[in-house]
A and B are shown apart, each in its own frame.
Chain A
Amino acid sequence: MSSDTRTAAEIADALAAGDTTSVEVTRAHLDRIAAVDGDVHAFLHVDAEGALRDAAAADERRGSGRPASALDGVPIAVKDVLATRGLPTTCGSRILEGWVPPYDATVVARLRAAGLPILGKTNMDEFAMGSSTEHSAYGATHNPWDLTRIPGGSGGGSAAAVAAYEAPLAIGTDTGGSIRQPGAVTGTVGVKPTYGGVSRYGLVALANSLDQAGPVTRTVLDAALLHEIIGGHDPLDSTSIDAPVGDLVAAARRGADGDLSGVRIGVVTELGGEGYQAGVLARFRESVELMTKAGAEVVEVSCPHFVHALATYYLILPAEASSNLARFDAMRYGLRVTPDGSPSAEEVMRVTREAGFGDEVKRRIILGTYALSSGYYDAYYGQAQKVRTLISRDFDAAFGRADVLVSPTAPTTAFKLGEKVDDPLAMYLNDLATIPANLSGVPGISVPSGLADEDGLPAGVQILAPATADDRVYRVGAALESLLAQQWGGRLLDRAPALEGAR
């Protein structure tokens, strides 16, 4: 069985030309899932029937010359943290096992309105807490490049699905790097839009002030096409930006010519060096050189408070998460464990949360409860909010000197499954370079930068832009992608080993 390695844009062109049908494309991806997902485990739920029904409807629209969008009929996978009406939504947690939401998240409603058949729901660290997908209550996802390694997290399922050609497109969410870091370690593209650029309605909240949904794809153009569909103002999200999403597809197409004349690129001093793998840094430096040759002006910029970003994040995130996850009280939805006798609601809640939450969720809820408790609030949570201001000021100063900022996306390539699962601090370090963007709400993209010499595994370059200037990450991302493709004579994913099931 061969896999469909076409980009979403190519599939859309073939659909528009009448060379293929959505039913054919959707069925091919469902077949691919059946063949390889036993090994990869990117999906928690596959909806073959629903996807084929939506595909048939898309074919009818195309047939009558009225496609619902540029991507009408192109199938997609959705991270299991977004509510999907009629489809299970577990957030990778036992506490939501079997929950079927009675409503769609706005992102999902927009995908449906645009005609994209939903193949299924992808695996993730429980409530998006993690960098490896090992904290899923339903078992880890495996990296298609090496099945003994992590696919990144929390959105390892979405990235692996796209890397393994199980889906041409996927939706992820990024609270501290959960779209970009999986992109880097699987050789795919991931975009965290500006905070407020994509609606959070129906996204089960981890940390409200940091969460943002975005595209998970194999190319920058595909990400732009998807971003334009899911982005834009939503009255159901009070933090949604009330402005048009911008012409992102045009920015990606413009960037693809590889010309970066007049673009000022800032290399962030604090996001590199110690703690970064040599092969990751080597690919990063080559990417910067390529962009320089393409006309970009490269400057080094210092963001001195970024060294405090990780600590700031691990106070703000647990504080918000401990408050958000209080909604899992065993009363209105999800798991209820009832101890013997005549237990009170509070006793039922305690026992249910012990049984329903995994280790990492318990760690962070307790950490957040600590950070918010009186006596510690000012010293930790209050201080973290102030440092957040200083980090945003660093960004402001840096964007005064550069149009975009660049760094390696993740400090290392994919590590072995099990290696860091019970060492929380070692796990947290994976998000070192991605966290500042979430704290300040700025958009970022991860683009594959090549394979590290030490282990032959993918690395990524991160490109950050000022808030609401998402078009810049698409322009520069597409330029870098195109310059690297010329050098390699193809895409990085072309070099991924074939999966067993596909032979």
Chain B
Amino acid sequence: MPEISRDEVAHLADLARIDLSDAELDHLAPQLSVILESVASITGVAGDDVPPTSHALPLTNVFRDDVVRPGLTAEEALSGAPAVEQQRFRVPRILGEEQ
């Protein structure tokens, strides 16, 4: 089990879209190493012949008839939005400054 470095934690936080302060990185990296070291114990427990389980009980896909049912109104759907404009979610720019 490789140690997880401070740089790796910073990279993972980047992938997970969470800014972490230097203090948080210092704090989290060693904790994550300890946790990973502990969970690594399952490596090799199950052989290739064991099928994976994604859900505890067997599932089949569920369909319903394609009929219109009442849903949230636009006002309800927008009721928790941080910013709203013209009955839409108002979001910050999604492209880089130069694009």
Q: Report which A residues bind B (CB closer than 8 A).
A: 99-103, 194-196, 209-210, 235, 238-239, 241, 305, 308, 310-312, 314-315, 322, 326, 329-336, 338, 342-351, 353-354, 357, 359, 362-363, 365-367, 369-370, 373, 379-380, 382-390, 392, 424-425, 428, 438-442, 467
Q: A367 contacts B35, CB within 8 Å?
A: yes
Say yes or no: A369-B15 contact (C-beta < 8 A), given A344-B96, A383-B43, A389-B53.
Answer: yes
- Measured between beta carbons, the chain B residues less than 8 angstroms from A330 are 82
CA distance A286 to B89 in the complex (A): 60
Closest 10 CB pairs of A and B: A441-B56, A333-B80, A385-B52, A386-B46, A336-B82, A102-B76, A354-B19, A311-B39, A388-B53, A238-B62
Q: A102 contacts B57, CB within 8 Å?
A: no
Q: B80 contacts A367, CB within 8 Å?
A: no
Number of interface residues of B (CB under 8 A): 57
A359 to chain B, nearest CB (A): 8
Q: B42 contacts A315, CB within 8 Å?
A: yes
Q: B28 contacts A331, CB within 8 Å?
A: no
CA distance A367 to B24 in the complex (A): 15
B75 to chain A, nearest CB (A): 9
Q: B38 contacts A311, CB within 8 Å?
A: yes
Q: Which of B51, B54, B80 contacts A334 (CB 8 A)?
A: B80
CA distance A335 to B17 in the complex (A): 15
Q: B12 contacts A333, CB within 8 Å?
A: no
- A sample of 8 more A-B contacts (CB under 8 A), given A345-B93, A363-B35, is A332-B81, A344-B92, A346-B17, A365-B16, A373-B12, A387-B45, A388-B53, A442-B56
Q: Which residue of B lies closest to A441 (CB)?
A: B56
- Measured between beta carbons, the chain A residues less than 8 angstroms from B43 are 379-380, 383
CA distance A140 to B95 in the complex (A): 41
Q: A102 contacts B16, CB within 8 Å?
A: no
Interface of B is mostly: loop
A232 to chain B, nearest CB (A): 16
- Measured between beta carbons, the chain B residues less than 8 angstroms from A392 are 53, 56
Q: A383 contacts B45, CB within 8 Å?
A: yes
A-B contact pairs, 23 of them (CB 8 A): A100-B79, A101-B80, A102-B72, A196-B57, A238-B61, A311-B40, A314-B35, A332-B80, A336-B82, A342-B93, A353-B16, A353-B17, A354-B19, A357-B18, A362-B18, A366-B12, A367-B35, A370-B12, A383-B44, A389-B46, A389-B51, A392-B56, A467-B56
Q: B4 contacts A370, CB within 8 Å?
A: yes
CA distance A344 to B89 in the complex (A): 15
Q: A363 contacts B28, CB within 8 Å?
A: yes
- Measured between beta carbons, the chain A residues less than 8 angstroms from B24 are 359, 362
Q: A383 contacts B46, CB within 8 Å?
A: yes
- Measured between beta carbons, the chain A residues less than 8 angstroms from B13 are 362, 366
Q: Which residue of A lies closest to B20 (CB)?
A: A354
Say yes or no: A383-B19 contact (C-beta < 8 A), given A362-B24, A366-B28, A367-B35.
Answer: no
CA distance A344 to B99 in the complex (A): 12
CA distance A127 to B69 in the complex (A): 30
- Measured between beta carbons, the chain A residues less than 8 angstroms from B51 are 386, 389
CA distance A315 to B45 in the complex (A): 14
B91 to chain A, nearest CB (A): 5
- Measured between beta carbons, the chain B residues less than 8 angstroms from A338 are 92
Q: A387 contacts B16, CB within 8 Å?
A: no
Q: Which residue of A lies closest to B50 (CB)?
A: A386
CA distance A389 to B53 in the complex (A): 5
Q: B16 contacts A366, CB within 8 Å?
A: yes
Q: Which residue of B lies closest to A305 (CB)?
A: B45
A394 to chain B, nearest CB (A): 12
User: Which residue among B4, B8, B34, B55 has the maximum number of chain A CB atoms within 10 Å of its CB?
Assistant: B55
Q: A440 contacts B56, CB within 8 Å?
A: yes
CA distance A386 to B47 in the complex (A): 8
Q: A363 contacts B31, CB within 8 Å?
A: yes
Q: B9 contacts A366, CB within 8 Å?
A: yes
Say yes or no: A387-B46 contact (C-beta < 8 A), given A350-B18, A367-B32, A369-B16.
Answer: yes
B10 to chain A, nearest CB (A): 10
CB interface residues, B 52-87, toward A, < 8 Å:
52-57, 59, 61-62, 64, 72, 76-77, 79-83
B23 to chain A, nearest CB (A): 11
CA distance A190 to B20 in the complex (A): 37
Q: Which residue of B lies closest to A237 (CB)?
A: B62
Q: A349 contacts B93, CB within 8 Å?
A: no
- Measured between beta carbons, the chain A residues less than 8 angstroms from B28 are 359, 362-363, 366
- Measured between beta carbons, the chain A residues less than 8 angstroms from B21 are 354
CA distance A62 to B31 in the complex (A): 56
- Measured between beta carbons, the chain B residues less than 8 angstroms from A329 are 17
CA distance A305 to B9 in the complex (A): 30
Q: Which residue of A lies closest to B57 (CB)?
A: A441
Q: Which residue of A lies closest to B46 (CB)?
A: A386
- Measured between beta carbons, the chain B residues less than 8 angstroms from A344 are 92-96
